[in-house]
Structure 1
Amino acid sequence: MHMSHPGMVAAQADTDERLGFIRRTYLHLFGAILLFTLIEAALFTSGVADRIGPSLLGGSGWIVVFVLFIAASWFANRWAMSGASPALQYAGLGVFIIAQSIIFLPLLYVAVHYGGGLDTIGAAGSVTVVLCGLTTLFVLITKKDFSFLGWGLMLCSGAAFVAIILGMIFGWQMGGWFSALMIVLGLGYLLYETSNILYRYRTDQHVAASLALFSSVMLVFFYVLRLFLDRR
């Protein structure tokens, strides 16, 4: 008789525990997206976005934000992966949501004031939902293990990171082709992380799993929105 226990990898757990873990993970993902949306709405309705948004569009300001985002992401992921304290895991997720809210601020500022406003943001959000939804369904239905993508994704991320930093320093304009490639990279990460939900994460790591999914979804949304703005 197959027995499962809390903390077992989802693929090895019994059906009820595995489904419960997946349900908790996606509820936390939806909660993270909702909190991100509320933070951005508060920043724009309060006028804070209009005061600090333009300053973040400059090269030096954007580099500072980007470096802080990388640091916050590293700490947030370590906290969320911590099995010692649920409070620390939630703190990691919260820090990451705030970091995402800040790094999205310049792009959303441009979209609101110069790129068609909420219509453009809504269209980009809809495309993101469709792309991420289809990718997620593919993994959950086929139950394929995409852990082999890890090294390739890491190398592509490193190349993209170097390109972004050089673009900031030298003022290079990353065109629609770069946004399209980053969307593909984000969907690759979503394949990888959705697979990890079954084959890597323990059933008590729903906070860490939701953070990883949230990161992938937001990467796709960021560059889908950029692609929409580039086409205007």
Structure 2
Amino acid sequence: MMTNVLVAHSSDVEKASFYKKTYLHVALSILAFIGVETVLLNVVPTELIAMMFGQKYTWLLIIGVFWLASMLANKWSLSQSKSVQYLGLGFYILLEAAIFLPLIYVAVLQAGVGVIYQAAMLTIAMFAGISAVAFTSKRDFSFLRNIIIIGGFISLGLIVGGAIFGFNLGLWFSVGMVILASATILYQTSKLKDSYTTDQYVGASLQLFASIMLLFWYILRILMSRRS
């Protein structure tokens, strides 16, 4: 049985196996993220966490390193080698845990652990609903690609501008990012079969995991803003 054929050109059995393995790895990635984040919250000094979001240029450096490392992880995820795909996924989980550390710390400090659970449940519910639409709808979501690219550049510019000049992007920016993350999940899910081979389910899970974490980030920020 060929394992380097696009999912779109594979048999129904192979498609089902690919999606099953992909979403299993997404779930395991989320669990791994929770485990790593818990360890970091318990071992990283609070002074270091405060420095991550207390200095604007430090945060810009973190964003820059995260962006470059994300590109490397995504490149690894597209490899035909399973070990390289796992390396990319594991590396990205560690990156996400590090970038989330100050946000989770502040959320727990200001609003309690409950807000984390609420944001997680909302994220999972939205991801499940969007995935259902992508799998059941017969529409072509290719038109979302340009919207996502343009929206991504605009949001990145606003984030960098906010970090440099010290202005608060506010609630509506977070709402817009939730919409952008949702559109990304819808587009990615509908295009998985055209982007990956049947043996690249680890890489496909990394792509979905990244979008889920983006959605979770801004849902959490919205919930925090409502409690502040």
1:34-86 deviation line (CA, Å, top 9, x unaligned): 1100001111233x152421011121221111111101100000011112x22
Match of 1:56 in 2: 52
* Structure 2 residue ranges without an equivalent (≥5): none
1:146-172 deviation line (CA, Å, top 9, x unaligned): 233212211110000000000000001
Partner Cα separation in structure 2 for residue 146 and residue 31 of structure 1:
27
Match of 1:101 in 2: 97
Further displaced range: 143-152 or 100-109: 143-152
Match of 1:125 among 120, 142, 156: 120
* 1:143 Cα offset (Å): 4.7
Structure 1 segments (4+ residues) deviating >3 Å: none
For normalisation by structure 2, the TM-score amounts to 0.95
Match of 1:20 in 2: 17
Q: Is the 8 Å Cα contact of residues 7 and 196 (structure 2) preserved in structure 1? A: yes
Match of 2:210 in 1: 215
**Count of paired positions:** 226
Q: Percent identity?
A: 36
Q: Is the 8 Å Cα contact of residues 41 and 101 (structure 2) preserved in structure 1? A: no
Partner Cα separation in structure 1 for residue 140 and residue 204 of structure 2:
16
For normalisation by structure 1, the TM-score amounts to 0.93
Whether 1:75 aligns to 2:68 is: no
Higher relative contact order (CA 8 A, sep 6+): 2
Partner Cα separation in structure 1 for residue 136 and residue 27 of structure 2:
20
For the aligned residue pairs, the C-alpha RMSD in angstroms reads 1.3
* 1:185 Cα offset (Å): 0.3
| Counterpart residue identity of residue 176, structure 1 | L
1:174-193 deviation line (CA, Å, top 9, x unaligned): 11100000000000110111
Partner Cα separation in structure 1 for residue 218 and residue 166 of structure 2:
18
Q: Is the 8 Å Cα contact of residues 65 and 102 (structure 1) preserved in structure 2? A: no
Q: Is the 8 Å Cα contact of residues 139 and 194 (structure 1) preserved in structure 2? A: yes
